[in-house]
Amino acid sequence: MYEFTPADPALKRPGHETGLSEKRKILLIYIPLAAFASMMTGIVLGENQQTAGLVQLVFGFVINVLALVWAKFDADERQYALSRFFPAAVLVFSVLAIVYYLIRSRGARGGLISTGLLISYIAGVMFALIVVGSIVTVLMVAAGLLTEKVLDGS
C-alpha cells in the first residue's frame, strides 16, 4: 500500500523562491503591458499617424529590450554563455534572435518545443490584447474620451 505525502512547501526549485521569477515577470507583466500601451497609443492617437508611429516604434524597441533581458536571465539560469553580439541581434532581428537562442541553448528538440511555446505565448498575448483593447476602447467611447469614429475604423 502506498502512502501519499504532499510535497514539502519549504522545498523550492531554483529561480522559484517567490511567486514570480524575474523571467516570468517579464513574460507575464512587462511585455503584455508594453504591447497594450503600444496598441492603445495607436487607437488614441489614430488621427496623428506620425506621432502614433513614433510612439509604437519606441514601444517595439522596449519590447525587444525586455526580450533581451528575459534571454539574459534565462541564460544565467541555464549557465549558457551568450555571444557578445547577441544583444545587437535581438534588437535588430527581434523574435528570430530569440528563436535562435532557444534552439542553441536547449538543443534541436528542446528548442523546437520552446519555439512552439513562444508561438503559443505570442498568440495568447495577441488574443488577450484584442479582447482587453476592445473592452477598453468601448469604455473610452462610452465615457466620451474617444469619438465613435474609432469604432467605425474611419
In three state form, how does the secondary structure of 80-123 look? CCCCCCHHHHHHHHCHHHHHHHHHHHHHHHHHHHHHHHHHHHHH
Quote the pTM value.
Answer: 0.77
Q: In this predicted model, what pLDDT tens digit does every residue of 41-65 receive, in sequence order?
A: 888 887 777 888 888 889 989 999 9
Q: What is the Cα–Cα distance from 36 to 125, expressed in whole angstroms? A: 9
Structural domain boundaries enclosing 92: 22-129
Q: In this predicted model, what pLDDT tens digit does every residue of 138-147 receive, in sequence order?
A: 898 889 888 8
Query: Residue 141: its pLDDT value, please?
Result: 87
Mean pLDDT along residues 89-113: 93
Domain annotation covers residue 146 = no
Domain annotation covers residue 55 = yes
Position 116 confidence tier, pLDDT thresholds 50, 70, 90 = very high
HEC letters along the chain: CCCCCCCCCCCCCCCCCCCCCHHHHHHHHHHHHHHHHHHHHHHHCCCCHHHHHHHHHHHHHHHHHHHHHHHHHHHHHHCCCCCCCHHHHHHHHCHHHHHHHHHHHHHHHHHHHHHHHHHHHHHHHHHHHHHHHHHHHHHHHHCCCCCCHHHHCC
- Are 115 and 122 within 8 A, CB to CB? no
Number of domain units in the chain: 1
CB neighbour list of residue 30: distance below 8 Å, 6 or more residues apart: 66
Query: Residue 3: its pLDDT value, please?
Result: 62
Domain annotation covers residue 54 = yes
Mean pLDDT along residues 134-141: 88
Domain annotation covers residue 82 = yes
Burial of 47 (0-12, 13-18, 19+ CB in 10 A): exposed
Query: Residue 144: its pLDDT value, please?
Result: 87
Query: Residue 12: its pLDDT value, please?
Result: 59
Domain annotation covers residue 11 = no
Domain annotation covers residue 42 = yes
pLDDT reading at 154 higher than 60: no
Q: Please give the mean pLDDT across all residues of the chain.
A: 85
Domain annotation covers residue 147 = no
Domain annotation covers residue 102 = yes
Mean pLDDT along residues 11-34: 78
Mean pLDDT along residues 12-17: 57
Position 13 confidence tier, pLDDT thresholds 50, 70, 90 = low
